[in-house]
Amino acid sequence: MMATDNKIDVNELNFEYEVIAYSRNIPVLVDFWAEWCKPCQTLSPLLEKIVDEANGGLRLAKVNIDQNPNLALQFNVRSIPTVKAFIDGQVAGEFSGIQPESRLRDFIGRLTPPSPLDLDIEKGQGLLANHKWSDAECVLRKALEQQPESVSIQLGLAKALLAQDKPEEALALLKAIPSGREYNQAQLLLPYAESLLQFKQDLLPDDNNLDAVFRNSLRLAGQGKFPPALDGMLDILRADKRFRGGLVKQVILGILEIMGEDDPQTRSFRAELATILF
């Protein structure tokens, strides 16, 4: 690991200063590891990623137990990887073994107060859940300026844009999201985003009544009027389940992703979609 102010290798000589004293300013995660430990190699990049995202609000100190056995003994490290969090010179929490990223974030979230950026992200997600699309866009744009690499902010902003008939920028955001927990959600949104853009550019077929219904449904969806848009698309599927090669189903799933699972209408539309298809 390349040493920086917030990521450092520590040993028995400097532990008191680099961990104990440092933890009186910001929380310090101490990662007890060894070169032969394969789970350690999996955990370490996740910890580094989260510390990087903390923007100076968190420190990662790595202890090689083979080179520093007295530290492992002093802090009762019985297996590795073991991570202990120090705050104000004391162990404030710990865990052993591989943990999924979501649990790591929960663990660290309990140690550190939310930053103004965290509060903005939380506010933006709340506005999305309440379908306050314009307000969500404003808040998430501000958050993205401060943390341009955050895929969760990119995804949230793309949803807000798609609900306001802005597929061009939304598509750019979605296509930039790398593999990870947000990637699958981004893939669900792409068919809707691409169809909405084609509608705006007048590139969609207009050969029959079902094409007309699809175009009108996209018009409604672009205005954030999702329930009537979904009603129209479900009518298309009732007439032709394979309309445009299954595109309508994919677009519906994208719209439901934007509406969110906490919306009672989402559950209702999912049930109706399943009834039609199966």
In the structure encoding, which two tokens stand for residue 56, read together?
Answer: 């100076």
Q: Which long-range contacts (CB under 8 A, 24 or more apart) does 168-176 make?
A: 168/197, 171/197
Pair 5, 61: CB distance under 8 Å: no
In the structure encoding, which two tokens stand for residue 262, read together?
Answer: 């906490």
- Which of 19, 40, 144, 234 does the annotation list as catalytic? 40
In the structure encoding, which two tokens stand for residue 60, read together?
Answer: 């990662």
- Which of 8, 30, 37, 155 does the annotation list as catalytic? 37
Q: Is 37 a catalytic residue?
A: yes
Pair 139, 124: CB distance under 8 Å: yes
Q: Measured between alpha carbons, how far is 181 from 198 in angstroms, rounded to an integer?
A: 28
Sheet strand arrangement including 59-64: 7-9, 59-64, 28-33, 82-87, 90-96
Q: How many CB atoms lie within 10 A of CB 264?
A: 9
Helix (H, G, I), strand (E, B) or coil at 142: helix
Q: Tokens 């032969």 correspond to what residue? A: 36
Question: Catalytic residues, which ones?
Answer: 37, 40
